[in-house]
Amino acid sequence: MNDDNKIKFELVNPQMDAHGKMIGLVVFIMGITMLFFVLYTAFGMIDTLSMPSTSLSSGGAESGDPLGGISGTLDSMAETSAYYGYVFMKIGLLYVMAYCASWIAGRGVQMYRASKLVPEMMKSK
């Protein structure tokens, strides 16, 4: 293989690209903050979600209950599937939020590390 066509990278002075370093840190901190929000939301969901065990409440969707008033016993198959559909939807959304937050944090780390590398052809001679 011909080595002339490859771009070579080498470490330079860390102060060379201070802006890239700062942007990388800001993106990383933003991703970590989003991860903490996801964990806080998941803890709140675990704390509030429990299988209903008393009679059905009155009120329905207009009372602000996202399950449409299903906060008691789940007597029918439709009520049961609505309850578990809602729970699995929240779990799926938490998974997507956690994935995106960790991806953003990872990109911040990559940008921080890339700010220390400069292609050999871009160095001043």
Secondary structure of 18-50 as H, E, C letters = HHHHHHHHHHHHHHHHHHHHHHHHHHHHHHHCC
Give the mean pLDDT of 30-55.
78
Q: Of residues 32 and 121, which shows the higher confidence score?
A: 32
* Percentage of residues in the chain having pLDDT higher than 70: 58
Is the residue at 110 inside a domain? yes
Report the range out of 42-46, 59-63, 119-123 with the highest average pLDDT: 42-46
Exposed, middle or buried by CB within 10 Å (0-12, 13-18, 19+), for 24? buried
Give the mean pLDDT of 45-61.
57
Residues 25 and 14: their CA atoms lie apart, in Å, by: 14
Encoding tokens for residue 59?
Answer: 């009120």
Per the structure, the count of domains in the chain is 1
Q: What pTM does this model have?
A: 0.58
Exposed, middle or buried by CB within 10 Å (0-12, 13-18, 19+), for 108? buried
pLDDT at 40 over 70: yes
Contact status, residue 41 vs residue 108, Cβ threshold 8 Å: no
Residues 88 and 109: their CA atoms lie apart, in Å, by: 32
Is the residue at 45 inside a domain? yes
Phi, psi of 108 (to 5 degrees): -65, -40
Is the residue at 125 inside a domain? no
Is the residue at 87 inside a domain? yes
Report DSSP state, residue 51.
-
